[in-house]
A and B are shown apart, each in its own frame.
Chain A
Amino acid sequence: MKRYLIQRFAYAVITLFIIVTATFLLMQLLPGTPYSNAEKLTESQRAILDAKYGLDKPVAIQYITYIGNLIQGDLGYSFQYQGRTVMSMIGDRIGPSALIGLQGLVFGTIIGLVLGIISALRHNTAVDYVSVTIAVLGMSIPSFVFAALLQYFIGVKLGWLPVALWENYQSTILPSLALSVTVIATVARFIRSEMLEVLGQDYVTTARAKGLNESGVIWKHVIRNALIPVVTMLGPLAVSIMTGTLVIEKIFGVPGLGEQFTLSILVLDYSVIMGITLLYSALFIFVVFVVDVLYGLLDPRIDLKGGSKA
């Protein structure tokens, strides 16, 4: 196990390094400067600013400096906001994103599981058709459509919850719901097909042949085995949803990370782009790692101690 962990950690560091390098180089290709008033700047003003931010040096030197700072845990300062560190900006923004993401994820997973499981157990009946339709709609209709519908009906017509703005807990509910739609659809479809596959397995017949009642067969033999692959899918889904989605955050006025990320790209706030990319990648790698470990715990056939195959 220890060997496995070390190996995984090494892989993670290498992956992150490659991502940082690629992002850094790609950013150099972007046209424009981080200065919003670039046209009005005189040659000498610009030279002073470039010197201040280290942009006057060759790309290779900039890169080495960045990596050097990164190793010390320093993500640098924002170009856009005077005197703000990237660290503190991420810190301010991640809370709301994580909150609505987590709520959407938990709610969506529970509803998706229930929907998918019922649908599999009532395979080829009206219940199944209805829930498959819901899942397909949820997958194919973009989330901003749902967001707008939620705002219109629950926010405007019924007036139960605020339409937008980030004020109190109430304002988290609609964005969470809008986020959960994709989760519901993805999870429901996935667990349904897994359940159907497991239901057709011989060991389920063996369980029935032992005289177990149907609920015993479903709980002990079917659901557990059907859930294992769902875990793999949930990890990446969790990252993408908890790190903030631009559209939902924009629509509901959530001061989240997704919004910040897009803003930074638009104004070429180099250090913030780097910082958020790094955070996304690190989280993703971490979650995939957690999923792998969980997988080992859930499925006895996967042995992490061996370490060589992972």
Chain B
Amino acid sequence: MDNHILEVNNLHVSFKTRNGEVPAVRGVNFSLKKGETLAIVGESGFGKSVTAKSIMQLLPKQNTIIPEGEILYEGKDLLKFSKKEIQNVRGSDISMVFQDPMTSLNPTMKIGKQIMEGLSRHMSLTKKQARERAKEMLELVGIPNTEARLDAYPHQFSGGMRQRVVIAIALACNPKVLIADEPTTALDVTIQAQILRLMRGLQEKMDTAIVLITHDLGVVANMADRVAVMYAGEVVEQGTLDEIFYSPQHPYTLGLLRSMPNLDAPRTEPLIPIPGSPPDPASLGTGCPFAARCPYTMKVCHDHNPDYTAVSGTQAVRCWLQDERTPEEHVPEVIRKGRQTSEIAADQAAIDAAGGVPV
């Protein structure tokens, strides 16, 4: 589709280690429309951050291999860009907010200078104009007393304030895409909510598309338009926020949702964790990577990795349960039920797209 600002196709990323190449990302696909928020969820170590960093090409060159795939930004493949060209994209077209605001600012450089650096790199501004703009950005992210704060050092800010500064740096040059890698994980809950609200507000104002990387489903529910669920370096399920939350089709997504605490449930009710532990990316077989932990495995799961099945116009799943050959009675009821609601939603979407039918 033309209105995709960012498209990641069949991306593979591996790391060279002493024990050979370890695949961290294995064929990731997703796309992002202008002004949209895509959340990438999954447990730690499943290649979420690697995916994000490979878009900006911030992974260490010496030990990273990208054997396959393309990352299209406005139709152009970033992986084919020269060093210089990618530097021009970084910070001006695509920006990034990192996980830990305590470490992502240079401790010996004034905040103002850290914001102005990117500005003078990408926009032809005088020093005075850059400073003005930096001040505006601080105001925009809700930092009071901006004139004085420009000359303050990071250690004079609290964690939440620092993350605001990091966001100001990222958005200073009006990027079209913001990649936020666990932007609230290191913050306490009340600050989390503030930062998320701030990001949403700025997104509306600046029409930025956001790739939000998180393991926190609460954050996803708050922010995302669409969700991609990652498992062991693959996107196992992708869909709109409602589809993922109300009609998950992949057993892993289902497991994730079930392991989320429910405030309405009685306190005696235990959480349902996903049994087993995540697979070692260095020793993945040919089968579905979730097979070992999946309650619904079939024979085929252990030997062959399934392909994507489109469940609706917006939802796609990588699971053998979706295959036509899978006997209907083997498919668990939750997933079958979800499929129906998905269809209803898809029908509804089609109706909406057609201009809506008055009830």
Contacts and interface: CB of A to CB of B under 8 A. Distances in A.
Interface of A: 123-124, 201-203, 205-214, 216, 220-221, 224-225, 228, 298-301
Contacts of A211: 87-92, 118, 121-122
Nearest to B92: A211
Given A209-B90, A210-B90, A211-B121, A201 B103 contact: yes
A225 B105 contact: no
B107 A301 contact: yes
A272 to B, nearest CB: 45
B106 A210 contact: no
Given A206-B169, A209-B95, A210-B118, A225 B56 contact: no
Given A209-B56, A210-B121, A211-B88, A203 B153 contact: no
A206 B108 contact: no
Interface residues on B, range: 20 to 34
A225 B56 CA distance: 24
A109 to B, nearest CB: 20
A206 B121 contact: no
A212 B122 CA distance: 9
B105 A213 contact: no
30 contacts: A202-B98, A202-B99, A203-B106, A206-B96, A206-B105, A206-B106, A206-B166, A207-B106, A208-B58, A209-B90, A209-B91, A209-B98, A210-B91, A210-B118, A210-B121, A211-B90, A211-B118, A211-B121, A212-B117, A213-B84, A216-B121, A225-B107, A225-B108, A299-B107, A300-B153, A300-B155, A301-B107, A301-B108, A301-B153, A301-B155
Interface string B247-278: 00000000000000000000000000000000
Nearest to A206: B104
B255 to A, nearest CB: 31
Given A221-B109, A301-B155, A124 B62 contact: yes
Interface of B: 56, 58, 62, 83-84, 87-92, 95-96, 98-100, 103-109, 117-118, 121-122, 153, 155, 166, 169-170
Contacts, number: 80
Contact of B108 (A124, A202, A224): A224
Contacts of A299: 107-108
Contacts of A216: 117, 121
B62, B92, B109, most chain A CB atoms within 10 A: B109
Contacts of A298: 108
A301 B89 CA distance: 33
Contacts of B107: 203, 225, 299-301
B49 to A, nearest CB: 11
Given A206-B98, A209-B90, A300-B108, 5 more contacts: A202-B104, A207-B117, A210-B121, A300-B153, A300-B155
A119 to B, nearest CB: 15
A299 B108 CA distance: 6
A202 B121 contact: no
Contact of B90 (A202, A203, A208, A225): A208
Contacts of B95: 209
B103 A202 contact: yes
Contacts of B153: 300-301
A225 B87 contact: no
B105 A203 contact: yes
A184 to B, nearest CB: 26
A220 B106 CA distance: 10
A212 B106 CA distance: 14
A123, A298, A300, most chain B CB atoms within 10 A: A300
B109 A220 contact: yes
Contacts of B105: 203, 206
A225 to B, nearest CB: 6
